[in-house]
C-alpha cells in the first residue's frame, strides 16, 4: 500500500514509492526541459510515472500521490499559483494528475514537504511539534503542529524566512526589507564572509577559499575552527542572526524541536552548540520555558520525497 | 449547561457564567488582596465562586470552569509557573479548584483567552484562523488555528510581542532586544509621542496633552487628525512598526484575519486603513497571497471571560 512521493525541484523532478515506514524504492529522476510548456512538462511527468509504477508497484495498489513544489500554491484547490523558479503560473496540477490517476492527490510547498518528512521519519520523529529551517540559497521553513503540517490560510503561511529581523535592513527578493533570509541563508553567510575577507587580507579565509576554488558557506567555519580571528567574527555574527530568528520562532510557536537542514546545517554540533549558547544567554525571554532542542536533519535529499508521500501516509 | 469563565487580572478577578452562545450573566468581581498568599487568594476566590454559583446557576449543571491568567503557565499540568504581576509562582491552581469542583477545569494565558473569545463570539467569528494582537501596556497575542487555541509546547508559545523586529534595538523586559512590543505597544506609542514633542515645541500635541492632563496613546492620533505635521510623523512611524509586525505574523502564520484590541485599537478604521495601506505597499512579499483582513475587537472587557469559558464550550 505505498504512496508515490514527488519532489519537484528547479531543474529536475524526483520521485519514489514510499511505504508506511517512510522507506523508499529506487528514485525516478526526470530533468525539466525548459523548452516545454508547463502542461507539456506535466504530461511528460505523467508518462514517466506510468512507467515507474509499472516497474515498481508489483501488483500493490497505489494509496495516493503527494507532491512538494517550490513556489506559491493553493493547496486546497491543488493549484501552483506561481513558481518563480519553474516559471509556472496558475497550473492546475492536481486536476491534471486526477485525469490519469484515481487516487488521492495532495500538494504542498517543497520546504513544507521536507519538514513533514523529517517530522515523521527523521530528526523530528520523537516530537509532535517541530519547525524545520533550511539554510540554503534562501531560508526555507516548515511547521509541524500535532504531527500535521501547518501551512496557514490557503497554504500561504510558514514563510519564516520572510519575517523581518532587521527593520529597514537589506532588501529581500520578496519585496520587504531585513528578512531573516537575508541574514541567515547560505547566500547571506557567503556575503558576510566576502565582506570580512575584503577588509582582512591576512585572514586564513583567503587561503581556504583559494584551495576550495571559491568562497562558499564552509570557508568561515573552516577558518574559525583553526582559530582565525576574522573568521570567528563572521561565524559569531552569523550565529547571532540565526539564533535571533530561532528565538523568534520559539517565542511565536514554541516547538518542541527545531531542525536545521541545508548546506550550513552540515556544520552539525559546532553550529548548534553555538546557537544553543547564544539562546541561553538570551534566557529565551522566559526563564520558565522548556529547553530549546536543536537537531540536524537526518533524511538528506530524500526528505522532500518522503515528506511529499507523508501527506497521504 | 453554562460554563464559568474567569478572567484573572493584576488587581482583581472577574467571572461570569457563559452559555453556548457566548452570553454572560452578571459578573462577579473580587479585588485581589496583596497581603494574602497565593493559596489564600485562591481559597477566597473559591468562596466567592460558591456564592456566585448558588445565586446564578438556577439548578443548571456547571459544565466546566475556564480561567485566563496573566503570566507563564503550564497549561497541561494546570500550573501557574510564574506570574510577574501577581507574584504567583508554581501555583497548582487547577488542583486547588478540583478539590472543590467536580467539573472539567482548564487554564490559559489571559491574552490567549481574550483571543479565543473574539474568535468564537467576536470579531473573528467568521474565520477559522485568526490572530489577535492587544496593543496595551505591552503587546499581547493569541493565535487561533482551525477554531482552536494554539498555545505552543506546554502553553509557552504565542508570544508574538516578544519576537525581534529591530535587531539590537531597545531593551525589552523579557531579556531580548528590539521586541515588537517595544515599538507597537501603547507604552511605545506614548514614548514615541513624548520624544517627538520634546523636539517639536510648536506641535499641537502639547496643547492636546495639556487638555487631557497627560500624554497618552490618543495624543498623536488626535493631533494628526487635525493636520499636525509632527503628530502625523509619530503616527506614520507607529503604523510602520505595527504593520511590519503584522506582516511578520502573516508570512509566518497567514491567518484569515488579524484582530486588534487594547487602547490603541480604539482608533478603529483610522488606524486599520493606514496599516492596510502600508502592508499593500509591501506587497506582502507574496503578490498571490490572500488579502489581509484587519478587524477591531468587539467584545471589549468581556473577551477574557467569554474566552476563558470558551476553553470548555
The percentage of residues in chain B with a pLDDT greater than 70, rounded to a whole number, is 98
Judged by CB atoms closer than 8 Å, whether chains meet at B290 and A154 is answered as yes
Which of the residues B146, B149, B166, B285 would you substitute to probe the A interface, choosing the one with the greatest number of A C-beta atoms within 10 Å?
B285
Query: In chain A, whose CA is at the least distance from the CA of B279?
Result: A176
DSSP state of A143: E
Q: For residue A11, count other CB atoms closer than 10 A to its CB.
A: 9
Which of A157, A165, A169 has the CB atom closest to B253's CB atom?
A157
Whether B70 has a pLDDT exceeding 70, the answer reads: yes
Give the model confidence (pLDDT) of B21-50 as tens digits: 999 999 999 999 999 999 999 999 999 999
Judged by CB atoms closer than 8 Å, whether chains meet at A252 and B153 is answered as no
Which of B72, B169, B286 has the CB atom closest to A286's CB atom?
B72
pLDDT for B20 equals 96
Judged by CB atoms closer than 8 Å, whether chains meet at B153 and A284 is answered as no
* CA atoms of B176 and B162, how far apart (whole Å): 8
pLDDT for B246 equals 96
Judged by CB atoms closer than 8 Å, whether chains meet at A286 and B253 is answered as no
B244 contacts in A (CB within 8 Å)? 164, 167
Which of the residues A144, A254, A255, A292 would you substitute to probe the B interface, choosing the one with the greatest number of B C-beta atoms within 10 Å?
A254
pLDDT for B1 equals 82
The percentage of residues in chain A with a pLDDT greater than 70, rounded to a whole number, is 98
Task: Provide the pLDDT confidence category of residue A245 given band limits of 50, 70 and 90.
Answer: very high
Name the average pLDDT for chain B. Answer: 94
Helix, strand, coil percentages (3-state) for chain A, rounded to 5, are 45, 20, 35
A166 contacts in B (CB within 8 Å)? 166-167
Tell me the shortest Cα–Cα distance from B169 to chain A, in angstroms: 9
Query: In chain B, whose CA is at the least distance from the CA of A279?
Result: B176
Task: Provide the pLDDT confidence category of residue B282 given band limits of 50, 70 and 90.
Answer: confident
pLDDT for B89 equals 93
Q: Identify each DSSP E strand in chain B by its residue range.
A: 3-8, 12-18, 28-31, 65-69, 72-74, 79-83, 88-91, 105-109, 130-135, 139-145, 148-150, 257-261, 294-296
Q: Closest by alpha carbon to A11, among A72, A83, A95, A111?
A: A83
Give the model confidence (pLDDT) of A73-91 as tens digits: 999 999 999 887 788 999 9
Give the model confidence (pLDDT) of B215-225 as tens digits: 999 999 999 99
Q: Are B264 and B140 in contact, with CB atoms under 8 Å apart? A: no
Judged by CB atoms closer than 8 Å, whether chains meet at B162 and A289 is answered as no
Give the model confidence (pLDDT) of A251-302 as tens digits: 999 999 999 999 999 999 999 999 999 988 775 555 667 788 999 999 998 9
Which of B157, B165, B176 has the CB atom closest to A253's CB atom?
B157
Which of the residues B130, B152, B188, B240 would you substitute to probe the A interface, choosing the one with the greatest number of A C-beta atoms within 10 Å?
B152
pLDDT for A287 equals 60
What is the reported pTM?
A: 0.93
Residue A259 DSSP SS3: strand
Q: Are B189 and B221 in contact, with CB atoms under 8 Å apart? A: no
Give the model confidence (pLDDT) of A104-127 as tens digits: 999 999 999 999 999 999 999 999
pLDDT for B286 equals 53
Judged by CB atoms closer than 8 Å, whether chains meet at A167 and B289 is answered as no
Kindly provide the ipTM of the predicted complex, given to two decimals: 0.91
Q: Judging by beta carbons within 10 Å of its beta carbon (0-12, 13-18, 19+), is residue B168 exposed, middle or buried?
A: exposed
Query: In chain A, whose CA is at the least distance from the CA of B255?
Result: A153
Which of the residues A148, A163, A168, A286 would you substitute to probe the B interface, choosing the one with the greatest number of B C-beta atoms within 10 Å?
A163
A154 contacts in B (CB within 8 Å)? 254, 290
Residues A119-156 as b or e (16 or more Cβ within 10 Å = b): bbbbbbeebebbbbbbbbebbbbbbbbeeebbbbbbbb
Q: Are B183 and B241 in contact, with CB atoms under 8 Å apart? A: yes
The percentage of residues in chain B with a pLDDT greater than 90, rounded to a whole number, is 86
* CA atoms of A119 and A123, how far apart (whole Å): 7
Judged by CB atoms closer than 8 Å, whether chains meet at B166 and A163 is answered as no
Q: What is the mean pLDDT of residues B90-107?
A: 97
According to DSSP, the residues that pair with A145 across neighbouring strands are A148
Give the model confidence (pLDDT) of B220-275 as tens digits: 999 999 999 999 999 999 999 999 999 999 999 999 999 999 999 999 999 999 99
* CA atoms of B121 and A304, how far apart (whole Å): 40
Q: Give me the helix-helix angle, B229-253 and B186-199, nearest 10°.
A: 150
Name the average pLDDT for chain A. Answer: 94
Q: Are A24 and A58 in contact, with CB atoms under 8 Å apart? A: no
pLDDT for A196 equals 98
Task: Provide the pLDDT confidence category of residue B10 given band limits of 50, 70 and 90.
Answer: confident
Looking at beta carbons, which pairs linking A55-62 to residues 24 or more positions away fall under 8 Å? A56/A17, A56/A25, A56/A26, A57/A2, A57/A17, A60/A1, A60/A2, A61/A1, A62/A2, A62/A3, A62/A4, A62/A101, A62/A103
Task: Provide the pLDDT confidence category of residue B283 given band limits of 50, 70 and 90.
Answer: low
Q: What is the mean pLDDT of residues A226-236?
A: 98
How is B166-222 classified by DSSP, letter by letter?
BTT-SBPTTS-BSBTHHHHSHHHHHHHHHHHHHH-TTSHHHHHHHHHTS--TTHHHH
Judged by CB atoms closer than 8 Å, whether chains meet at A252 and B158 is answered as yes
Judged by CB atoms closer than 8 Å, whether chains meet at A176 and B247 is answered as yes
Amino acid at each position: 500500500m505505498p504512496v508515490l512521493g514527488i519532489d519537484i525541484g528547479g531543474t529536475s523532478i524526483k520521485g519514489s514509492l514510499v511505504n508506511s515506514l517512510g522507506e523508499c524504492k529506487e528514485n525516478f529522476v526526470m530533468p525539466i526541459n525548459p523548452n516545454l510548456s508547463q502542461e507539456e512538462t506535466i504530461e511528460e511527468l505523467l508518462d514517466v510515472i506510468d512507467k515507474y509504477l509499472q516497474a515498481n508497484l508489483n501488483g500493490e495498489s497505489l494509496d495516493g500521490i503527494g507532491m512538494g513544489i517550490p513556489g506559491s500554491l493553493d493547496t486546497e484547490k491543488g493549484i501552483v499559483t506561481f513558481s518563480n523558479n519553474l516559471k509556472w503560473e496558475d497550473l492546475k496540477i492536481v486536476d491534471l494528475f486526477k485525469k490519469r490517476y484515481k487516487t488521492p492527490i495532495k500538494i504542498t510547498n517543497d520546504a513544507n514537504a521536507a519538514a513533514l518528512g523529517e517530522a515523521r521519519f527523521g530528526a523530528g520523529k520523537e516530537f509532535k511539534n517541530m519547525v524545520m529551517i533550511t539554510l540554503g540559497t534562501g531560508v526555507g521553513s516548515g511547521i509541524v503542529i500535532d504531527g500535521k503540517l501547518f501551512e496557514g490560510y490557503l497554504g500561504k503561511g510558514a514563510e519564516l524566512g520572510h519575517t523581518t529581523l532587521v527593520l529597514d535592513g537589506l532588501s529581500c527578493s520578496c519585496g520587504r526589507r531585513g528578512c531573516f533570509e537575508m541574514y541567515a541563508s547560505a547566500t547571506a553567510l557567503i556575503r558576510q564572509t566576502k565582506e570580512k575577507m575584503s577588509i582582512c587580507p591576512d585572514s586564513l579565509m583567503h587561503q581556504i577559499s583559494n584551495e576550495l576554488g571559491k568562497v562558499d558557506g564552509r570557508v568561515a567555519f573552516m577558518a574559525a575552527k583553526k582559530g582565525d580571528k576574522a573568521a570567528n567574527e563572521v561565524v559569531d555574527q552569523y550565529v547571532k542572526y540565526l539564533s535571533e530568528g530561532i528565538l523568534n520562532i520559539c517565542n511565536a510557536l514554541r516547538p518542541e524541536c527545531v531542525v536545521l537542514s541545508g548546506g550550513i546545517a552540515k556544520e552539525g554540533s559546532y553550529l548548534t552548540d553555538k546557537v544553543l549558547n547564544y539562546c541561553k544567554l538570551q534566557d529565551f525571554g522566559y526563564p520558565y520555558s522548556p529547553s530549546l532542542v536543536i537537531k540536524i536533519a537526518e533524511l538528506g535529499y530524500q526528505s522532500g520525497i518522503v515528506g511529499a508521500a507523508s501527506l497521504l501516509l
